């Protein structure tokens, strides 16, 4: 029951956060200088369009209209794409989820593996080499790494496609195993760009967490009892070090979504990040606000999921959460 109250409280807070974000974004983007017209469009035509889009109304009126439409499930009409925002999001969000999902898998599988490997060989040569390598990769800016990967593996070696999400001739739609493979092939460079920097960070994080747990009494006890080293690492150290891993999982969502903006633009990946970036530049207010709505929902949901997972991984946290809920309800 108390767990249910805690969850309900978190859900209400999540909705409030999302609402606050879209309100903030709505006001901010409308107050920003610029207008939704290209540089060479005749200002007279621009004025006509501005009127057609209702942008000549006071911002409070526009906001109220937006909320009324939102309550009816209508995200509005994109100025730059000339189509319903919902249609644009339905087409682009799955691409961002594919990219972010692949990057997340890459990030955590590689990062976790490296972190465990380094912790098991602490202060030995592999640990030192990998420690410096991960620090080097962690400090690589994505805007530099992405074009380099494109240049080397796309243009020069020709191993991977130079941008795009699929082969426009053979696989305009993913409707066969061949086209699934084609999508994965197109995913390699953008997902690597987005995931490799995160993996380096995860590895350093995980190594530190493993080493912290290694000095705990129960690990020493297990070792004194003659438990095999592999079992100590996997069962005692790793399980307890997973708490920080789950926290990092929750924090990874904002990183992946913001990183996706740049990566999608450079790799011509047709996702929501590229859509939002273009919308900001063209002052396409409905798309910007809708993207913020989706992004904030994903981030809040990711953090909620991480909190729930933490509760499962560490019963002590469930007790604290329940106690907090009792205090509030009392």
Partner 1 sequence: MLSAMLRRSAFSYYIVLTVATLGACERRGGCTTAGCGTLIDAAVVEPPTLLPPSTEDIVASDIAEQLFLKLADVGMSTNTVGDEDFQPLLAQRWEWDGPLTLVFHIDPRARWQDGQRVTAADVEFTFNAYNDSAVASPFRPKLQRIEKVTQRDSLTAVFRFREKYPEMFYDAVYHMRILPAHLLRSVPREQWRTAPFGRQPVGDGPYRFVRWQAAQSIELVADTTFFLGRPGIRRLIWRFTPSLPVAVQQVIADQADIREQLVTPDNVERAKAAKQLAIYPFRGNVYTFLSFNQRAPGDTSKPHPLFGDRDVRRALTMAVDRASLVKSTLGDLGQVPPGPISALVGIWAPDIRQLPYDTAQAARLLSLHGWRDHDGDGIRDKDGQPLAFHILVPSSSGLRKQYARLLQEQFRAIGVRAEIDELEGSVVAQRTGSGNYDTAILSRSNDPSPGSGITQSWTLAGFGGSNFGRYYNPEFERIVQRAISAPKRDQARTLWRYALETINADAPGIFLYALANVGAVHKRVENVQFRPDSWAALLRTWRIPPDRLIDRDRVER
> Which residues contact partner 1 (rule: CB under 8 A)?
33-46, 48-49, 52, 77, 80-83, 88, 91-92, 109, 113, 147, 150-151, 154-155, 158-159, 161-166, 168-170, 172, 177-185, 188, 234, 238, 265-268, 270, 274-275, 278, 281-283
Q: Enumerate the β-bridge partners of residue 84.
A: 77
Return the number of the residue (117 or 138) whose C-beta is nearest partner 1.
117
What minimum distance in Å lies between the beta carbon of 230 and partner 1? 8
C-alpha angle 151-152-154 in degrees, rounded to nearest 5: 65
- Closer to partner 1 at the Cβ: 80 or 303? 80
By beta-carbon proximity to partner 1, the closer residue of 50 and 258 is: 50
Write the DSSP string, 219-232.
Answer: HHHHHHTT--HHHI
Q: Which is nearer to partner 1, 91 or 314 (CB)?
A: 91
Query: Min. distance of Cβ 39 from partner 1 in angstroms?
Result: 5
Find all residues with CB under 8 Å of 171, minimum gap 6, and list them.
178, 179, 182, 183
Q: Minimal distance in Å, beta carbon 270 to partner 1?
A: 3
The region that residue 82 occupies, defined by phi over 0 for left and psi between -120 and 50 for alpha, beta otherwise, is: left
- Minimal distance, residue 249 CB to partner 1, in Å: 16
The tokens describing 126, both together, are: 């592999």
For residue 72, the SS3 value is coil
Q: Measured between alpha carbons, how far is residue 320 from residues 209, 283, 327 in Å?
A: 22, 45, 11
3-state secondary structure of 84: strand
DSSP per-residue codes, 298-320: HHHHHHHHHHHHHHHH-HHHHHH
Cβ of residue 66: shortest distance to partner 1, in angstroms?
17
Question: What token pair was written down for 186?
Answer: 């197109």
In this complex, which beta carbon is closest to partner 1, that of residue 263 or of residue 321? 263
3 state DSSP class of 141: coil
**In angstroms, what is the minimal distance from the CB of 20 to partner 1?**
26
């Amino acid at each position: 029951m108390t767990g249910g109250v805690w969850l309900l409280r978190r859900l209400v807070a999540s909705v409030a956060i999302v609402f606050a974000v879209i309100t903030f974004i709505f006001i901010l983007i409308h107050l920003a200088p610029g207008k939704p017209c290209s540089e060479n469009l005749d200002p007279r035509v621009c004025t006509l369009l501005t009127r057609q889009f209702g942008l000549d109304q006071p911002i409070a009126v526009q906001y109220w209209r937006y909320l009324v439409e939102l309550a009816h499930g209508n995200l509005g009409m994109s100025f730059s794409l000339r189509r319903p925002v919902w249609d644009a999001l339905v087409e682009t969000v799955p691409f961002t989820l594919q990219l972010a999902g692949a990057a997340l898998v890459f990030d955590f599988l590689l990062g976790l593996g490296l972190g465990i490997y380094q912790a098991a060989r602490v202060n030995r040569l592999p640990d030192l080499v990998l420690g410096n390598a991960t620090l080097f990769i962690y400090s690589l800016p994505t805007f530099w790494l992405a074009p380099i990967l494109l240049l080397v593996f796309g243009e020069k070696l020709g191993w991977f496609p130079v941008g795009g999400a699929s082969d426009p001739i053979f696989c305009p739609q993913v409707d066969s195993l061949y086209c699934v493979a084609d999508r994965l092939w197109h995913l390699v460079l953008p997902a690597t760009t987005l995931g490799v920097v995160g993996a380096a960070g995860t590895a350093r994080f995980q190594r530190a967490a493993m080493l912290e747990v290694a000095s705990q009494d129960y690990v020493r006890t297990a070792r004194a009892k003659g438990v095999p080293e592999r079992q100590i690492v996997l069962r005692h150290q790793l399980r307890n070090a997973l708490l920080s891993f789950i926290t990092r999982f929750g924090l990874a969502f904002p990183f992946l979504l913001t990183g996706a903006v740049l990566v999608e633009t450079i790799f011509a990946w047709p996702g929501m990040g590229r859509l939002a970036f273009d919308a900001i530049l063209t002052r396409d207010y409905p798309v910007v606000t809708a993207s913020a709505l989706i992004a904030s929902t994903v981030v809040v949901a990711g953090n909620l999921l991480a909190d729930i997972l933490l509760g499962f991984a560490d019963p002590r946290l469930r007790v604290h959460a329940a106690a907090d809920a009792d205090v509030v309800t009392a």
